Amino acid sequence: MAMLQMVLYLVVLTALVKPLGWYMSRVYQGQPCGLDAVLGWLERGIYALAGTKPDGEMTWRQYAIAVLLLGTLSTLVVYGIQRAQHLLPLNPQSLGAVSPDSSFNTAVSFATNTNWQGYGGETTMSYFTQMLALTVQNFVSAAMGMAVLVAMIRGFTGKQTDKIGDFWVDLTRSTLYILLPLSLILAVVLVSQGVVQTFSPYVTASLIDPAADAEGKPITAQTIAVGPAASQIAIKQLGTNGGGFFNVNSAHPLENPTPVSNFLELISILVIPAALCWTFGEMVGDRRQGWAVYAAMLVLFVPLLALCYWAEQTGNPRLTALGVDQGVSALSSGGNMEGKEVRYGIANSALWATATTAAASGSVNSMHDSFTPLGSLAPMWLMQLGEVIFGGVGSGLYGMLAFAIITVFIAGLMVGRTPEYLGKKIESYEMKMASLVILIPCAVVLIGTAVAVMGPGLEYPGAANSNTGPGKVKSNLNNPGAHGFSEVLYAFSSAGNNNGSAFAGLTANEPFYNTALGLAMWLSRFWLAIPILAIAGSLASKKSVPVTSGTLPTHTPLFVMLLASVVVLVGALTFLPALALGPIVEQLQMISS
């Protein structure tokens, strides 16, 4: 049954690649896509308002400046709204201003499509902030990733030109014709499944079976957080954002109430990154190239999904030793159920954990901190591989294309030619930029983790309290030893690759982590987009070399395996020492004692 669900998932996903990919290629090539007949006036109106010409083109530098400009502006606006939310409308719970460090972290997080959440949504953000700051960014940051990808594809198709398209046009089309309509459909379906969508204040329910709190006082009522969730969840899933409306994200019954909603949300995590592969193939005029990249992603995704599922289903050997039955039975899903929703079981939790970390989504329906060490290694490593296995919308594919450039370079030399990819020669400039794309996330994750464990990320001053006096120094880590190390490593792997999923178990909403992770997210978003655009500009200015039997074929199974190996090798060689001190040693300790 579990197998069947996972296979069904991959089949449905693959079936959607071509239709959606085809539709998006129409949108980006300015061909009629259906919706332009309905929304064309709006698109033209936006250009008129912004003073852009739809056929105007930018050089890669202009494009990069536009990306940076929008990123900076977005960060400032989101920061401002959080700091002033107590003065703004749509705040029925009268939530106060968000702290400066948390606001900075969240602003960067949403502007970079990371959606790392140091805060708890229902206790921190007003409806106004959720909708006008966060949900808007869910669209804009996703569209930005897609725009940069399209610019890079134009680098391959351009012939001796210095133009790679217009950022504002790509951004508008991504939002208007792709993200908005898909989100609208998904939101309506989710509402039909019971996801909440309301502006009313939180609901209070009387408990049928009152409980007592820590001091023995009876608790008779429960406050149930509600809000305009469905609209945000749709784009959070589709735009590989991952920032939940509620703190526990898609484990929350009002975010993800039924098996149908769970399946749809799972599909929407990967559907756009997967379909963009087809768009890429179509736009470069060789669909096999798109399928090859998609295949390379699947080849990496499936074994890690299998590892995660196997590790979780096997459960904890120490519990087995104590006589606990972790086997599958009619009434139990078996395996390691700690931190998982009984509604989803092992298969759907493992599938979500791998999908959300393969794509740079970061939404969760289970707590990765409670996974077995090997089970948590899969999602952690998927992030460390650079978020290129599907990855963020747009950003995942452009990262993968940077890996393809490196692969082509090494493989191309072996066939005795100056390497070329899709007819463009790969020379020192492209190597320099592609190396940066791979180097920066690695550097951010490793240096960030190193700084954190040298002290700054281990303890923080607790808040001062009028009853207990000055704040006590508290530990950031909820767990000692290797697991504590994994918690820090996971946090930086997530932020440093713009994923945003949290391991939990790490107290990150304090000045050090808010600042450090904020910086990590900023660097690995924009310092990657710039070299990618530089590659696009350089490739566009080159001649296109015709394909002969002397050309390295980049659509064959051999190349797919080679590309996958390069991704794995770079990821393994970079992170093996760190992983050895985290999940690997933890797993060995678990099974050996």
Q: Give Dmax over CA atoms of the chain in angstroms.
A: 80
User: Alpha-carbon distance 554 to 541, whole Å?
Assistant: 21
Choice from 97, 207, 450, 473 touching other proteins (CB under 8 A): 450
Given a contact cutoff of 8 angstroms between Cβ atoms, the answer to whether 225 and 245 are in contact is no
User: Alpha-carbon distance 564 to 297, whole Å?
Assistant: 7
Cα–Cα nearest to 497, from 364, 375, 362, 387: 387
User: Does 307 participate in binding other proteins (rule CB under 8 A)?
Assistant: no
Residue whose CB is less far from other proteins, 467 or 549: 549
Helix, strand, coil shares of the chain as percentages rounded to 5?
A: 65, 5, 30
Residue keyed to tokens 């492209």: 430
- Report the DSSP beta bridge partners of residue 366: 340
User: Alpha-carbon distance 204 to 213, whole Å?
Assistant: 17
User: Does 323 participate in binding other proteins (rule CB under 8 A)?
Assistant: no
Choice from 14, 192, 222, 418 touching other proteins (CB under 8 A): 418
Given a contact cutoff of 8 angstroms between Cβ atoms, the answer to whether 397 and 283 are in contact is no
Residues 483-512 that bind other proteins (CB under 8 A): 484-485
User: Does 145 participate in binding other proteins (rule CB under 8 A)?
Assistant: no
Burial category of 94 from C-beta neighbours within 10 Å (exposed 0-12, middle 13-18, buried 19 and up): exposed
Residues 172-231 that bind other proteins (CB under 8 A): none
Q: Which window, 81-89, 336-344, 383-391, 451-459, contacts other proteins (CB under 8 A)?
A: 451-459
User: Does 10 participate in binding other proteins (rule CB under 8 A)?
Assistant: no
Residues 554-583 that bind other proteins (CB under 8 A): 556, 558-559, 562, 565, 569-570, 572-578, 580-581
User: Alpha-carbon distance 240 to 390, whole Å?
Assistant: 10
User: Alpha-carbon distance 360 to 529, whole Å?
Assistant: 15
Question: How many C-beta atoms surround the C-beta of residue 527 within 10 A?
Answer: 17
Residue whose CB is less far from other proteins, 260 or 580: 580
Residue whose CB is less far from other proteins, 5 or 544: 544
Q: Give the SS3 label for residue 486.
A: helix
User: Does 321 participate in binding other proteins (rule CB under 8 A)?
Assistant: no
Contact track, other proteins, 48-87, x by CB under 8 A:
----------------------------------------
Residue whose CB is less far from other proteins, 184 or 569: 569
Given a contact cutoff of 8 angstroms between Cβ atoms, the answer to whether 81 and 208 are in contact is no
User: Does 449 participate in binding other proteins (rule CB under 8 A)?
Assistant: yes
Given a contact cutoff of 8 angstroms between Cβ atoms, the answer to whether 448 and 419 are in contact is no
Choice from 550, 560, 563, 564 touching other proteins (CB under 8 A): 550
User: Alpha-carbon distance 551 to 102, whole Å?
Assistant: 52
DSSP run (H or E) holding 425: strand 424-425
DSSP state of 445: H
Given a contact cutoff of 8 angstroms between Cβ atoms, the answer to whether 127 and 89 are in contact is no
Shortest Å distance, C-beta 478 to other proteins: 13
How far apart, in Å, are the Cα atoms of 231 and each of 39, 268, 458? 20, 14, 37
Choice from 7, 68, 413, 463 touching other proteins (CB under 8 A): 413
User: Does 288 participate in binding other proteins (rule CB under 8 A)?
Assistant: no
Choice from 338, 443, 456, 519 touching other proteins (CB under 8 A): 443
User: Does 481 participate in binding other proteins (rule CB under 8 A)?
Assistant: yes
Q: Which window, 22-30, 218-226, 357-365, 546-554, contacts other proteins (CB under 8 A)?
A: 546-554
Given a contact cutoff of 8 angstroms between Cβ atoms, the answer to whether 494 and 516 are in contact is no
Shortest Å distance, C-beta 441 to other proteins: 10
User: Does 260 participate in binding other proteins (rule CB under 8 A)?
Assistant: no
User: Does 303 participate in binding other proteins (rule CB under 8 A)?
Assistant: no
Shortest Å distance, C-beta 493 to other proteins: 13
Choice from 203, 224, 410, 464 touching other proteins (CB under 8 A): 410
Choice from 87, 416, 466, 467 touching other proteins (CB under 8 A): 416
Shortest Å distance, C-beta 423 to other proteins: 7
- Report the DSSP beta bridge partners of residue 197: 228
Residue whose CB is less far from other proteins, 343 or 417: 417
Contacts to other proteins by CB under 8 A = 406, 409-418, 423, 426-428, 430-432, 435-436, 438-439, 442-443, 446-447, 449-451, 453-454, 480-482, 484-485, 543-546, 548-553, 556, 558-559, 562, 565, 569-570, 572-578, 580-581, 584-585, 588-589, 592
